[in-house]
Amino acid sequence: MRRLPNYFLINLALAALVALLFVASVYVGRGGELLFTKLHAMDEIDRSLAWLILKEIRLPRAFLGLVVGATLGLTGAGLQGLLRNPLAEPGLIGASSGAALGAVLVFYFGLAAGSAMLVPLGGVAGALASLALLYLLAGRNPSIVTIILAGVAISAFASAFTSLALSLAASPYAVYEIIFWLLGSFTDRSMDQLWFALPFVVVGLALVASTARALDALTLGEDTAASLGFNQTSLKLRSILGTGLAVGATVAVTGVIGFVGLVVPHLVRPLVGHQPGRLLLPSALAGSAMVLAADILVRLPTSGPEPKLGVITSLIGAPFFLWLILRTRREAD
């Protein structure tokens, strides 16, 4: 019988990988090699310029990678555990489409130029609105199927409005802005935007993390989990609200980063013996690692426009997911 690797060691290894990629993310970039030489430069102006780049461009970007990756990894694992369905992903409950719509409306009305904070503000408002709508649709004590169907409906509705905003946009420039924002990227995000999203993310992730043992119990079905002392209504509320807050807030800042929340839990699951509660922490770490790595990847081409992060994660994630499905099918045969 194959023994599982030690749980502590898995997390330690993943944390070390995240730390390494974080440092690399600060270091690598267009003209990145110069950054650290400049920090040691004699010239005062060079030094302060390098410091400015570090503080205003590189660090926010690396922190965003850390936070967004952890959010997608944790909420993806949590939602797959809650729905007992390995195809669930954080966007399923509609909060990320809602956040995207909220942000797009800010662009649509031309408010984005006014303040950099209005886009994330609109995004978070959109995420909260879609969560409220989910609550209204699904009711006080919803079944899992009701939650999924309501989430799908909200996503479709929000996407339709996003398309409407695109088709009615007054200026081609607004369309261009919206499309680029929707593709998902960490470029030109400031520390202020990160600070704005962080409280929602922290509360959301704490809510999802608090469901770990309930998710373990849910392996045996809702009735058995209830008989093991876990209130199912509270579990669903914490999981859905937490996912909506955390994912909504990150989408509000970065746009939609696809496939990470779907693929990362699959990668980590065999390492923790498929136990949904134990999956949460390593999945969050692996999510950070994957997003940081992908964000380094988009910076590697040294000329031409930078590819968008959301595009890269989907480009890598989709075939990878296909491979996972094929492998699972082979194992089942």
- Tell me the CA distances in angstroms from 149 to 79, 154, 204, 240, one per residue in order: 14, 9, 22, 14
User: CB of 234: closest distance to another protein in angstroms?
Assistant: 9
Place of tokens 């609200």: 241
Under the binding rule (CB under 8 A), the answer on residue 55 touching another protein is: no
Contacts of 216 by beta carbon, 8 Å cutoff, 6+ apart: 275, 276, 277, 278
Name the nearest CA neighbour of 60 among 22, 116, 5. 22
* Strand (E) or helix (H) holding 123: helix 118-138
Under the binding rule (CB under 8 A), the answer on residue 220 touching another protein is: yes
Q: For another protein, which residue of 223, 302, 303, 304 counts as binding (CB under 8 A)?
A: 223
* Strand (E) or helix (H) holding 107: helix 95-108
Under the binding rule (CB under 8 A), the answer on residue 329 touching another protein is: no
Under the binding rule (CB under 8 A), the answer on residue 172 touching another protein is: no
Looking at residues 79 to 108 of the shown chain, list those that interact with another protein (rule: CB under 8 A).
84
Which stretch, 70-78, 123-131, 227-235, 255-263, contacts another protein (CB under 8 A)? 227-235
- Tell me the CA distances in angstroms from 317 to 141, 257, 267, one per residue in order: 34, 11, 11
Under the binding rule (CB under 8 A), the answer on residue 218 touching another protein is: yes
**C-beta of 5 vs 273, nearer to another protein:** 273
Under the binding rule (CB under 8 A), the answer on residue 273 touching another protein is: yes
Under the binding rule (CB under 8 A), the answer on residue 217 touching another protein is: yes
User: CB of 73: closest distance to another protein in angstroms?
Assistant: 18
**C-beta of 47 vs 213, nearer to another protein:** 213
Query: 110 near 174, Cβ under 8 Å?
Result: yes
Q: How many residues bind another protein (CB under 8 A)?
A: 23
Name the nearest CA neighbour of 23 among 49, 48, 56, 58. 58
Using CA atoms, how far apart are residues 323 and 29, in angstroms rounded to an integer? 31
Using CA atoms, how far apart are residues 83 and 80, in angstroms rounded to an integer? 5
Place of tokens 């980063």: 257
The site string for another protein over 274-293 (x = CB under 8 A, - otherwise) reads xxx-----------------
Under the binding rule (CB under 8 A), the answer on residue 148 touching another protein is: no
User: CB of 250: closest distance to another protein in angstroms?
Assistant: 27
User: CB of 212: closest distance to another protein in angstroms?
Assistant: 10
Name the nearest CA neighbour of 21 among 254, 291, 262, 250. 291
Under the binding rule (CB under 8 A), the answer on residue 5 touching another protein is: no
**C-beta of 97 vs 211, nearer to another protein:** 211
Query: 141 near 233, Cβ under 8 Å?
Result: yes
Under the binding rule (CB under 8 A), the answer on residue 144 touching another protein is: no
Under the binding rule (CB under 8 A), the answer on residue 221 touching another protein is: yes
Using CA atoms, how far apart are residues 101 and 108, in angstroms rounded to an integer? 10
Q: For another protein, which residue of 35, 67, 201, 216 counts as binding (CB under 8 A)?
A: 216
- Tell me the CA distances in angstroms from 175 to 24, 103, 165, 179, one per residue in order: 34, 13, 9, 6
Q: For another protein, which residue of 20, 231, 306, 327 counts as binding (CB under 8 A)?
A: 231
Which stretch, 71-79, 123-131, 187-195, 226-234, contacts another protein (CB under 8 A)? 226-234
Farthest-apart Cα atoms in the chain, separation: 69
User: CB of 110: closest distance to another protein in angstroms?
Assistant: 48
Q: For another protein, which residue of 228, 300, 322, 326 counts as binding (CB under 8 A)?
A: 228
Using CA atoms, how far apart are residues 213 and 127, in angstroms rounded to an integer? 27
The site for another protein (CB under 8 A) is made up of 1-3, 84, 213, 216-221, 223-224, 226-231, 273-276
